[in-house]
Structure 1
């Protein structure tokens, strides 16, 4: 019997969609060791290899963008509307091209996190498909752009694309999804890392008692000027952002020589924006989180409450980081919380394995 073939389509809106799906694929590979995996996205190859391994076939380019952003926390509504109108103008053409691509590859199942056009293409090609995510772009368009009458036909197409999937596996925590018809809730999907504080201390040559924080914003530019980041005695900072010159206390995160998940699990605190991957990995490891609030982002009520239930957390205005020392004192003085359990990894993998083994129809 040939090995099952899964086509994984990932939104390139930041790194979160790819990071969220990686633990599900790892659990699925344990169930189906011969799984053939094709990953379609426009994210960097180095990142994808780190999450999905050398055996995955990579397909560059995907007709998906999520939302256009001014920064990691500010949606560009006008640019998003223009992009969705442009997408709608080419919808049939793009669906046909993607359907041809899928038909040529002939996967047994398409998994989308969470590009709607790929789901529409799978339906056109007659290939079963399922979605998995904590959000969907139909409800996002409804929330951010629903007051623009020109986008009503676009929204209808997005909803139809999602509803063409056999199922939408909504991971915990997640936004409400009133626009969609077939949603099944599962637990948190979290890759998780191994705490390696000794390796981190050796790599950075830390002095006794010196602590390390991680500044990470998920692959999208942040409204955070690290040139204004306070120098705090006893703290060193690793970051995914550009490091300003002349700052010995700020280093590129790769200087630690650890995977991102192991690094996040090993630090004393994380500074970030609300996002599924960073929040859930911190909640699994019990790492304290200092974060920039996003009151308009539809995932945030669920994300913020979930994080506060599983680790010490504090929302602050990081655009002015002058009170950093006081924030860290408040954050670290909070009582510990019970860590999360990554129950959704195997829940999703069990459903996907059963679907792959069932075959067409």
Structure 2
């Protein structure tokens, strides 16, 4: 009988999708006929793009993440209150989640990285594995450990995460010193196809013209592009939600190309610090301009790793707002090009999950 994998995904940006999809594909290669159900509130188009059309999507909200004001700023008080509401009636919530997992008939729960499904899997006597470069317990503790309700909430989170058979930590990740079930695996990333010839023809690129992807990981942060200068010799691929009519930009969604292929066809990436953006760029050998993400505790680990394996430079807010990008990009392009890294973490993670799933 074919095995059934239930995948629960945080919807806080697209990085959780990018980390999980290669692992699920590696499991499907090892177990032909593996059924996959995705439980998340992430956009269906992004799930289809990364997991394929065969995966079943069941809309579900299984964690809080953080309430964002935009791609850079967190609404701290709103986030703290959202966590408190989420944990009100925690035992009832766990029991309801366990009932839904039983109804799905899964053989294993893979969580990136909501902790409610892990607690529910334990109650339903289902095996479970966590996979992520962060966990919400450490994120919550970083911002809210001084709040009066934090002790109870953190204990419930810790017990949930600790109930997983494994917590797989793709490189680079936060240390997660509180958890004893962690196992480090290599970087996890999709590998794209370089379609530069198609882009050159479709966009009318000159031979010496550079292509720069601008991606904020599923979170909105639209600059005042109408005030930006021209970018001689550079074309920016920007989110369609900007409604951008700058003469040197291209609407990404209008291209009809998978994101990872567009990235691998580019010459640089402008992004906020995030696992998917940094690791995918390193695998493609692309230099990175990254915006500030003030206070986010994962950032030092991501930046340290990316600077060790690739080319990266911070982009000040005033330069982002004013469109002063050219000098930054030129410095990165003039720097020595490192070798692209190997994304072997998906295979390592699949090999670790396989005996538990079977």
TM range (shorter): over 0.9
| Alignment partner, residue 351 of structure 1 | 352
Alpha-carbon distance between aligned partners in 2 of 1:193 and 1:305, rounded to the nearest angstrom: 24
Contact kept, 8 Å, 2:8 with 2:62, in 1: the verdict is no
Contact kept, 8 Å, 1:203 with 1:255, in 2: the verdict is no
Alpha-carbon distance between aligned partners in 2 of 1:33 and 1:310, rounded to the nearest angstrom: 35
Shift of 1:318: 3.7
SS of aligned partner of 1:296: coil
| Alignment partner, residue 272 of structure 1 | 271
Segments of 4+ moved more than 6 angstroms? none
Aligned residue pairs, count: 356
- What aligned pairs does 1:76-95 form with structure 2 within 5 A after superposition? 76-95=75-94
Shift of 1:225: 3.3
| Alignment partner, residue 333 of structure 1 | 334
- What aligned pairs does 1:303-322 form with structure 2 within 5 A after superposition? 303-321=302-320, 322=322
Instruction: State the Cα RMSD in Å.
Output: 1.5
Alpha-carbon distance between aligned partners in 2 of 1:41 and 1:5, rounded to the nearest angstrom: 17
Q: Indicate yes or no: 2:169 matched with 1:170.
A: yes
| Alignment partner, residue 342 of structure 1 | 343
Partner deviation per Cα, 1:15-50 (whole Å, 9 max, x = no partner): 110111111111111111111100000011111111
Shift of 1:241: 5.4
Aligned pair in 2 of structure 1 residues 245, 53: CA closer, same or farther (>3 Å)?
closer
| Alignment partner, residue 223 of structure 2 | 224
| Alignment partner, residue 101 of structure 2 | 102
Contact kept, 8 Å, 1:284 with 1:310, in 2: the verdict is no
Alpha-carbon distance between aligned partners in 2 of 1:339 and 1:295, rounded to the nearest angstrom: 28
Alpha-carbon distance between aligned partners in 2 of 1:179 and 1:68, rounded to the nearest angstrom: 24
Contact kept, 8 Å, 1:10 with 1:114, in 2: the verdict is yes
Alpha-carbon distance between aligned partners in 1 of 2:308 and 2:191, rounded to the nearest angstrom: 17
Alpha-carbon distance between aligned partners in 2 of 1:79 and 1:121, rounded to the nearest angstrom: 26
Question: Which range is displaced more, 203-212 or 193-202?
Answer: 203-212
SS of aligned partner of 2:250: strand
Contact kept, 8 Å, 2:108 with 2:128, in 1: the verdict is yes
Aligned pair in 2 of structure 1 residues 292, 254: CA closer, same or farther (>3 Å)?
same
Gaps of 5+ in 1: none
Contact kept, 8 Å, 2:127 with 2:357, in 1: the verdict is no
Contact kept, 8 Å, 1:113 with 1:131, in 2: the verdict is yes
- What aligned pairs does 1:198-213 form with structure 2 within 5 A after superposition? 198-213=197-212
Partner deviation per Cα, 1:143-169 (whole Å, 9 max, x = no partner): 111121222211111111101111100
Alpha-carbon distance between aligned partners in 2 of 1:355 and 1:145, rounded to the nearest angstrom: 34
Partner deviation per Cα, 1:327-361 (whole Å, 9 max, x = no partner): 1122212111122111111000111122212xxxx
Question: Which range is displaced more, 327-336 or 156-165?
Answer: 327-336
Q: Indicate yes or no: 2:35 matched with 1:41.
A: no
| Alignment partner, residue 66 of structure 1 | 65
Alpha-carbon distance between aligned partners in 2 of 1:58 and 1:175, rounded to the nearest angstrom: 29
Contact kept, 8 Å, 2:230 with 2:247, in 1: the verdict is no
| Alignment partner, residue 259 of structure 2 | 260
Contact kept, 8 Å, 2:225 with 2:244, in 1: the verdict is no
Aligned pair in 2 of structure 1 residues 330, 261: CA closer, same or farther (>3 Å)?
same
Q: Name the TM-score, length of structure 1 as normaliser.
A: 0.95
Q: Name the TM-score, length of structure 2 as normaliser.
A: 0.95
Alpha-carbon distance between aligned partners in 2 of 1:206 and 1:327, rounded to the nearest angstrom: 21
Alpha-carbon distance between aligned partners in 2 of 1:147 and 1:107, rounded to the nearest angstrom: 38
SS of aligned partner of 2:72: coil
Alpha-carbon distance between aligned partners in 1 of 2:226 and 2:82, rounded to the nearest angstrom: 33
| Alignment partner, residue 236 of structure 1 | 235
Alpha-carbon distance between aligned partners in 1 of 2:205 and 2:134, rounded to the nearest angstrom: 40
Alpha-carbon distance between aligned partners in 2 of 1:245 and 1:141, rounded to the nearest angstrom: 36
Shift of 1:107: 0.8
Alpha-carbon distance between aligned partners in 2 of 1:207 and 1:329, rounded to the nearest angstrom: 17
| Alignment partner, residue 143 of structure 2 | 144
Gaps of 5+ in 2: none
